[in-house]
Structure 1
Amino acid sequence: MKKIFKGKIKRKHLLVLLLLISVLSLIGYKSINIFKSTLTQEEKVEDFLYMYDVIEKSYPYLEVNKRVNNVDWLANKENYLARIKKTKNDANFIKELNNILADLNNNHTHVISDSSFFEIVTNAYDRLGWYDFFDDEIVKKRYESIGKIEFNKKTFSTEDLILKDIVEEKVGYIFLPEMTPRGESIEENISITSEYIKTLENHESIVIDIRGNSGGNDAYWEEVISRIIPKSYNTSGYILFRDSAIINNYVKSRDINTKDIKDLPKEIVNNGPVEITSKFKSFTKSDWIVESKDSINFKGDIYLLVDKVVFSAAESFSIFCKENGIATLIGETTAGDGGGYDPVLFKLKNSGLIVRMASDMYLTNSGICNEEFKTTPDYIIENPKRTKNFSDDKCINKVLELVE
């Protein structure tokens, strides 16, 4: 999931709550449906057309989706409309909306389709004052009428933090299953991790494994890496916004200082997606600083293991490591969409449903769109899946080959 940018503005509790939303949007679940058919076809069509209009004017990755996934989402309007008209009740309507949004191929963009989601989002955002719809009666009634989630056993990561040497006194290993601790605070978890990191000062190499990690809290990985690196590092990038009422209100509510898109450096324009000067209104320069803190000042080699699941906050860690040359990346191309602000929310007036949508496009310091090109490792491994035994793990074997 995305962070509440920037590194120095950390709303830890909000980010932990937002992790749940991201994880649930990424991994399978089923809801206990107790819907009543209350919306007319006209109301469903009106809500869909409004959602379509918002995405057309606000969503940052329409052209990226064309290039990467060969999906022209806007061109599918009539097909989507026909599908909406065929929905027989509210439950089918909500499911179809999410199916339609799934064509955008972005895990930050979906309908909040469960009362558990709504409760989490309300707790996370309502006190911040960014949105005015949480107290709307139609919104409350909608989410009171919707079923709660019946969690599958695999909804959350069942993996635990692993801290152990691959090669005793030579190659250390830190496995981070999520970018947030389970069952304890960040401080408690980091305290445990720090004790192990202290034993690695004279090791030749450290492996940080984030395979299967779909995100969480940026503050978590910052706390981990700050205890290893010998100095502070800064990653710069550019966050671009489109010109729509919803995005403009979001930028204003977040008090984000932006510049006109025509002021974007020429190098960024040349390297970035062709549509950035015609489809985007403004940008902000991001400076992402992670300071060395209580560090072992490690002077050996660091290896970061990644795979196609690495997304959002986990992807931000990948960007940070690659942009700064902190670690050698091993595995497969990541899932992307790291580096920017958290998704924006908007309401569908007839159904009272809340839609969550990617709010911006993040470009690296050289102008590369992370959502389009993701992060490519230095060494690509076929079948990079993590295994129970180090000896069977292809990524670990590559590390051992490099450290010999």
Structure 2
Amino acid sequence: MSSDTLYRDMILTKEQMLEDYDAMWESFEENYPFYGVLDRLYVLNNMEPDYYKATKTKYRKQIENMELEGDKAMFEFANIIAISVNDVYGTVGHVSIVNPNMLRSLEVYKEHVNESPEVQPWVDVIEDPQVIAFYEYLDYLLGLQQADKGGSAPTPEEINAQQEEELNKMKATNLTMKILEKGKIAYINVESFDDVFIEGDMPKIRAFLEEVKDYEHLIIDIQNNGGGNTTYWEEAFVRPNISEPATTSLVRLMKNTELTQRFYGVDYKGSALTTKDVKNDPNFTSLHKEDLEDLTLVREISYTLEPKFSEKLFKGEISVLVGPAVYSSAESFAVFCKSTHFATLVGKTTGGSNSGGPILFELPISHLLIQFDVEYGLNPDGSSSQEVGTTPDIESEDALKTVLDLIGKH
């Protein structure tokens, strides 16, 4: 990676890097709600009691001792940020840096902000000129890294073409639909509920459901689905296949800070629930009360999905296959299925994280973005959705085989 740069104004001094680094950890400590979950995870994995503090210190020293300069130093800085948050938080709470591809995927919020004004805080961040400038620079750094590995640095046009090609490949493989037994068993596998797949996948699923609407069994496989947008599963699977409104509810808690208020404050306005109410709820037998000490905002979310048609499109039995990779909005589908009995969950306990989705924190000097959840979601027994996930109705090491065996016994 050359010491020359086209973005001299983007280069931070070591002191500025450290200031950004410290600001990031301060923001986590002020806003992130899962430190109790992390503590239990550290114990479970036999990690040192001071793992959190030691890991923060280790990566701060890497910045302090950095001997690189210019673009190389900036690339290493971004890399240290990414690795440090992964080492501390892992998959607990959607924590990561926002890379250029992720930022581009958030552009979809701009298209929906008029009908969904609640996404305006995310739009404000991604439209920040300083964020835009930094991510143009980060694309440049990634191109230089590729050149250092023996290739030539791609042009912006080449980057866009490559991303389009990769997206088209994902679109081609995201959805698999097949007949397992003609006239009886249909199967749908969805790898992701991401926004980019909704427009292309919806008509395909609708046509397939029309084809198999009189079958006895529909198997929906989301075992490898890490989430995306709840609209996907609502419109593809639930609304066409219910004959009356289906309602589910859940409780979420949050710290009361400037950052959390900016992104989710409006959702908590008017809520009469308190942390005390949650702690005293007799249904929450698995609640870790100590986790709630700083979570002073509480809301109960109750939402109803209305039928799309006057009668169900698919009238047979529905099974949904789940496992540890089920996360985020895929988790919310699992929760919906179990709470409303829309479908039978089969497989292994899910990965969890039925939250409203991660917020964006902008590092004050570099303007690199960090994402993380700020809402602590509860399961019906009070356990943390992030920590425990959802237990299927039928536990199985081989979910598909189990369902087929059960069908065979009918």
Structure 1 residue 198 corresponds to structure 2 residue 198: no
Distance 2:97 2:261 in 1: 21
2:323 alignment partner AA: D
Closer, same or farther: CA 254–69 of 1 in aligned 2, 3 Å? same
Closer, same or farther: CA 397–135 of 1 in aligned 2, 3 Å? closer
Q: Is the 8 A contact 1:35 1:146 kept in 2?
A: no
TM-score of the superposition, structure 2-length normalised? Answer: 0.76
Distance 2:126 2:219 in 1: 44
Q: Return the offset for 1:183.
A: 6.5
Structure 2 residue matching 1:80: 3-state secondary structure: helix
Distance 2:128 2:201 in 1: 38
Closer, same or farther: CA 373–184 of 1 in aligned 2, 3 Å? closer
CA deviation vs aligned residue, 1:1-50 (integer Å, no higher than 9, x gap): xxxxxxxxxxxxxxxxxxxxxxxxxxxxxxxx988682122111111111
Distance 2:318 2:129 in 1: 53
Q: Match for residue 141 of structure 1?
A: 133
Structure 1 residue 322 corresponds to structure 2 residue 338: yes
Work out which structure has the larger RCO, using CA pairs closer than 8 Å and 6 or more positions apart in sequence: 1
Distance 1:176 1:289 in 2: 23
Distance 1:133 1:225 in 2: 33
Closer, same or farther: CA 100–256 of 1 in aligned 2, 3 Å? farther
Q: Is the 8 A contact 1:331 1:381 kept in 2?
A: yes
Structure 1 residue 118 corresponds to structure 2 residue 103: yes
Q: Match for residue 256 of structure 2?
A: 243
Q: Is the 8 A contact 2:223 2:323 kept in 1?
A: yes
Name which one, 1 or 2, has greater alpha-carbon Rg.
2
Q: Is the 8 A contact 1:333 1:377 kept in 2?
A: yes
Q: Match for residue 273 of structure 1?
A: 288
Q: Return the offset for 1:189.
A: 3.5
Pick which of 188-197 and 95-104 moved more: 188-197
Distance 1:261 1:181 in 2: 34
1:396 aligned to which of 390, 393, 400: 400
Q: Match for residue 28 of structure 2?
A: 55
Q: Is the 8 A contact 1:211 1:306 kept in 2?
A: yes
Pick which of 264-273 and 362-371 moved more: 264-273
Segments of 5+ residues of structure 2 without an aligned counterpart are 114-118, 143-158
Segments of 5+ residues of structure 1 without an aligned counterpart are 1-32, 383-393
Structure 1 residue matching 2:304: 3-state secondary structure: strand
Structure 1 residue 45 corresponds to structure 2 residue 37: no
TM-score of the superposition, structure 1-length normalised? Answer: 0.77
Q: Identity of counterpart residues, as a percentage?
A: 25
Closer, same or farther: CA 58–307 of 1 in aligned 2, 3 Å? same
Q: Match for residue 13 of structure 1?
A: none
2:64 alignment partner AA: K
Q: Is the 8 A contact 1:177 1:212 kept in 2?
A: yes
Q: Return the offset for 1:319.
A: 1.0
Task: Kindly report which structure 2 residues correspond to 1:164-179, keeping only aligned pairs within 5 A, or say none.
Answer: 164-179=178-193
Pick which of 294-303 and 215-224 moved more: 294-303
Q: Is the 8 A contact 1:262 1:277 kept in 2?
A: no
Q: Return the offset for 1:134.
A: 4.8
Structure 1 residue matching 2:89: 3-state secondary structure: coil
Matched residue count:
357
Distance 1:359 1:397 in 2: 38
The structure in which a higher percent of residues are helix is 2
Q: Return the offset for 1:176.
A: 2.0
Closer, same or farther: CA 225–111 of 1 in aligned 2, 3 Å? same
Q: Match for residue 302 of structure 1?
A: 318
CA deviation vs aligned residue, 1:335-393 (integer Å, no higher than 9, x gap): 2112x2121112111112121111211112332311101123234443xxxxxxxxxxx
Distance 1:249 1:305 in 2: 36
Q: Match for residue 327 of structure 2?
A: 311
Q: Match for residue 61 of structure 2?
A: 82
Q: Is the 8 A contact 1:269 1:277 kept in 2?
A: no
Structure 1 residue 130 corresponds to structure 2 residue 118: no
Q: Match for residue 353 of structure 1?
A: 368
Structure 1 residue 215 corresponds to structure 2 residue 231: no
Distance 1:327 1:159 in 2: 24
Q: Return the offset for 1:182.
A: 5.5
Q: Match for residue 146 of structure 2?
A: none
2:97 alignment partner AA: V
Closer, same or farther: CA 291–77 of 1 in aligned 2, 3 Å? same
Q: Return the offset for 1:73.
A: 2.8
